[in-house]
Amino acid sequence: MFKGLAAFPLTPLVNGKPDEKTFVSLIENLAAARVNVIAPLGSTGSYAYLSREQRARLTALSTDAAGDIPVMTSISALRLEEMLDLADDAQRAGARGLLLAPLSYQPLSQEEAYRLYERVARAVSVPLCIYDNPATTGFTFTQDLLCAVARLPNIGSIKLSPFSDAAGAAAKIAALRREIPATVTLGTSGDHQAADALLAGADVFCSVTAGLWPRDIRALTDAALAGDAAQAAALNGAFEPLWTLFRRHGSLRVIAAAAELSGRVAAPCLPEPLLSLQGEARAQLQTVLAQRDYH
Amino acid sequence: MFKGLAAFPLTPLVNGKPDEKTFVSLIENLAAARVNVIAPLGSTGSYAYLSREQRARLTALSTDAAGDIPVMTSISALRLEEMLDLADDAQRAGARGLLLAPLSYQPLSQEEAYRLYERVARAVSVPLCIYDNPATTGFTFTQDLLCAVARLPNIGSIKLSPFSDAAGAAAKIAALRREIPATVTLGTSGDHQAADALLAGADVFCSVTAGLWPRDIRALTDAALAGDAAQAAALNGAFEPLWTLFRRHGSLRVIAAAAELSGRVAAPCLPEPLLSLQGEARAQLQTVLAQRDYH
C-alpha cells in the first residue's frame, strides 16, 4: 500500500475539539481525488495534541469516509505502552498502516529506538511506516539503525525527513536500497523538495499540501514517478510561492492558514498554543492564494 | 522560595506504575536533608511520561512528605488546556511553585511561547518557574523573550539551561539581571557545571544529583553561594567522575542507574522506552560508586 501519493490532512479544531464534520469532508475530498493512502493524524493532523479517545474516533471516521482507499494513522506517543494501545485502537478502527516516530520527551538513544520499534513491530498485524522526523522527535536515525529497523517484521515503508537537495536525495535513497528489504518502500516528506526526491527514486510522496489540494499534487506525483522531469518541474513550479512559505515557516502553520483563508476550516483550527501563520506572512499567503487556484 | 538548593528526585516505576512507597522515601530523605525546594516531577521525575491523575497523586504525596519545605512541580504538557488543568491540580495538591517549559510537539515560535506563558501566568496563584530546556522542548528562548516572560505576573524564577563555561555563565547572568525584575531568581541546571554558575551569581542549584544525594550537594551549594570557591571546588571535585558520565550520557540515565545500583529503587525504574545506563557505561558507574560514598 505504501506507493504513490499519501495525503496528510489537518485535524481542524473548534474550541479545542475536533470538528468532525469538516474533518470528514477533508477525508472525502482525498478519497474522491484517488490518492493512494489517506494519512489522518500525522504531524499535520496534530496527533500529538489529541487524546487516545479522539484519535480512535477520528481514525474510525477516516476509514468510513475513505471507502476503498487504505488509511494510515499515527500511533506515536511518549510512552511505549501508549503506543501499543494506540496500535490496537487503530487496527480495530480499520487502519491498514501505522505511522510510528521515535517520539519521546527525553530524546531516545539508538538502542532505545531500536527496542521501541522491535516491541511495536512484533505486536502489530498491519504494516508499520517508520517515521523519521528529527524536528519533532529530537531523534536522528543513523543509517545503520534505519536499516536495522527496516529489517524487522511488519515494516512497510520509511517516511524520510526532507532532503537538502536532489543529489543528497539520490545518494541517500541508493544507500538505503542496498541495505533494506525490497518490500520496504521509501517516502519523502517536505513538500517543497518532494518532486526532486521522487525523480531520484523515492516511492511515496507523503504530502501535507495534498491533504488540502490532492488533485494538483496527484498530477505532480504521477509525473515525477513516471520520470517526466519536465512535466514535474512545470507542475511543481506552480507551487513555488507556497514552498517558499513552507521553507520559512514550516508546512503546518502555512497549510493551516491556507485552509482557514480559503474557508475550508474555521479559524483558528490548530491546537493551542500553536498558531497558524499570522501577520505579514499570512498576508503574503493570502496574496499567493489570490493569484493561484490550487485544487 | 526560589533560592538555594532545589532537588529533583526520580519517580521510580515498577511495571510501568509509580512505586509510591519508594517515591515517598526519596521525598522524605530530601526533607530530612533540608533542601530549599523539593521538585518532584521535573524532567528527572519523568513528568512527561505520567498521566494527569498520576501527577496529581504524586504531587499530593510530595507535599505530605515534604513537611514545611516548599514543593515545586511541573505543569508542562503538549497542549495549553492540559497545562491549565495540571496547574489547578498542582495548586490543589499544595504545590507552592510550578515549573513550566515551552513543551510542544511542533517546536513553538517565540510568539506562541510568549502567549503560552502569558495565559498560564495569569491563571495561577503560586509563582511559576520558567523552564528553559532546549534538549527536550526543541525550543530556544531568545534573550528578549526570556526577559519579556520574566516580566509577566507570578514569575518567580528561571531555570536556565546549562552554561558552556564559567565565563558564559557570568555573562548571561549579568545580562539577564539588567533586564528582569529583582524578584525573579536565576537557577542553574546541568549539575556538572553548577558550581561555576553559582559562583558566577546564580541563585538556585536545580540539581538532579541532590534528588538522590542531597547532603553532599547541600554542602556544595552552601559553599558556592557563600562565595567560597576553594571549598566549592573541593566538594565539586568529589563528583567529577559522576559529572564525566553526565556529560557523556545525560544526567537522567546515569542517576537512574545509580539509584538502581545502590538499591534505592527497583530496576528498571524508568518509563519505557527509556533505559537507564547499560553495558560498559553502567560498569563504569558501578566502579565510581564503589570508590565514592555519596550522601
Q: Residues A49-67: pLDDT tens digits?
A: 999 999 999 999 999 999 9
- Closest CA of chain B from A70, distance in Å: 26
B-chain residues within 8 Å CB-CB of A119? 272-273
Q: Is the pLDDT of residue B182 over 90?
A: yes
ipTM of the complex as predicted: 0.95
Q: Which residues of B touch A278 (CB under 8 A)?
A: 111
Contact criterion met (CB < 8 Å) for A80 and B108: no
pLDDT, tens digit (0-9, with 9 covering 90-100), for B104-132: 999 999 999 999 999 999 999 999 999 99
Among all chains, which residue has been given the C-alpha cell 508499520? Answer: A128
The C-alpha atoms of residue A269 and residue B256 are separated, in whole angstroms, by 40
CA of B136 vs chain A CAs: smallest distance (Å): 6
Q: Give the residue-averaged pLDDT of A158-177.
A: 94
What residues contact residue A51 under an 8 Å CB cut-off, 6+ apart?
none
3-class secondary-structure state, position A238? coil
State how far the Cα of B3 lies from the Cα of B6, in Å rounded to an integer.
8
Interface membership of B15 toward A (CB under 8 Å)? no
> How many angstroms separate the Cα of A240 from the Cα of each of A195, A234, B233?
12, 10, 58
Chain B nearest CA to A117, separation (Å): 10
- Provide, as residue numbers in chain A, all residues whose Cβ is less than 8 Å from the Cβ of B16: 79, 81
Question: With 0-12 CB in 10 A as exposed, 13-18 as middle and 19+ as buried, what is A178?
Answer: exposed
Cross-chain residue pair A274–B136, CB shorter than 8 Å: no
Nearest-10 crossing angle of helices B143-150, B166-179? 50
**For B233-258, what is the mean pLDDT?**
97
Q: B53 touching A, CB under 8 A?
A: no
Min distance B167 CA to chain A CA atoms (Å): 28
CB atoms within 10 A of CB B17: 10
The mean per-residue pLDDT over the stretch A105-111 comes to 96
B159 an active-site residue?
A: yes
> What cell was used for A49?
495534541
Question: Looking at A47, A114, A117, A159, which residue is catalytic?
Answer: A159
- pLDDT (0 to 100) of residue A162: 92
Statement: residue A1 has pLDDT above 90: no
**Interface residue of B274, B275, B277 to substitute, partner A, most A CBs within 10 Å:** B274
Q: Is A130 helix (H, G, I), strand (E, B) or coil?
A: strand
Q: What is the pLDDT of residues A10-59, one digit of tens each?
A: 999 999 999 999 999 999 999 999 999 999 999 999 999 999 999 999 99
Among candidates B195, B258, B279, B190, which has minimal Cα distance to B12?
A: B258
For the question of residue B21 being annotated catalytic, the response is no
Is the pLDDT at B139 greater than 90, yes or no?
yes
Three cell numbers written together for A69: 482507499
The gap from C-alpha B154 to its chain's centroid, in whole angstroms, comes to 19
A16 and chain B in contact, CB less than 8 A = yes
Strands (E), A161-293: 185-188, 204-207
- Which segments of B are annotated as binding site for pyruvate? 44
| Strand positions, DSSP E, A8-91 | 13-14, 17-18, 37-38, 72-74
Q: What residue in A sits closest to B76 (Cα-Cα)?
A: A105
pLDDT at residue B1 greater than cutoff 90:
no
What is the torsional sign of CA A44, A46, A48, A52?
negative
CB contact under 8 A, B48 and A278: no
**B chain contacts of residue A16, beta-carbon cutoff 8 Å:** 79, 81
Chosen for mutation from A14, A105, A119 (greatest number of chain B CBs closer than 10 Å) is: A105
Catalytic residue among B47, B114, B131, B172, which?
B131
> Using a CB-CB distance cutoff of 8 angstroms, which residues of chain B are in contact with residue A105?
43, 46, 48-49, 103, 136
**What average pLDDT score do residues A220-236 get?**
98
Cβ distance A108 to B274 less than 8 Å, yes or no, reads: yes
**Which of A112, A116, A273 comes nearest B112 by C-beta?**
A273
**CA-CA-CA-CA torsion for A152, A190, B77, B11, nearest 10 degrees?**
30
Q: Which CATH number fits domain A4-226: 3.10.450.50, 3.20.20.70, 3.40.309.10, 3.40.50.300?
A: 3.20.20.70
Asked whether the beta carbons of residue B274 and residue A81 sit closer than 8 angstroms, the reply is no
Whether pLDDT at B29 is above 90: yes
The alpha carbon of residue A280 is apart from the nearest alpha carbon of chain B, in Å, by: 14
Per domain, the residue ranges of chain A are 4-226
What are the pLDDT digits (tens) for A65-97?
Answer: 999 999 999 999 999 999 999 999 999 999 999
Q: How many CB atoms lie within 10 A of CB A283?
A: 11
User: B81, A16: Cβ pair inside 8 Å?
Assistant: yes
Specify the pTM.
Answer: 0.96
Amino acid at B2: F
Residue A259 to residue A255: CA distance in whole angstroms = 6
Sequence-distant (≥ 6) Cβ neighbours of residue A220 within 8 angstroms: A195, A205, A232, A235, A236, A239
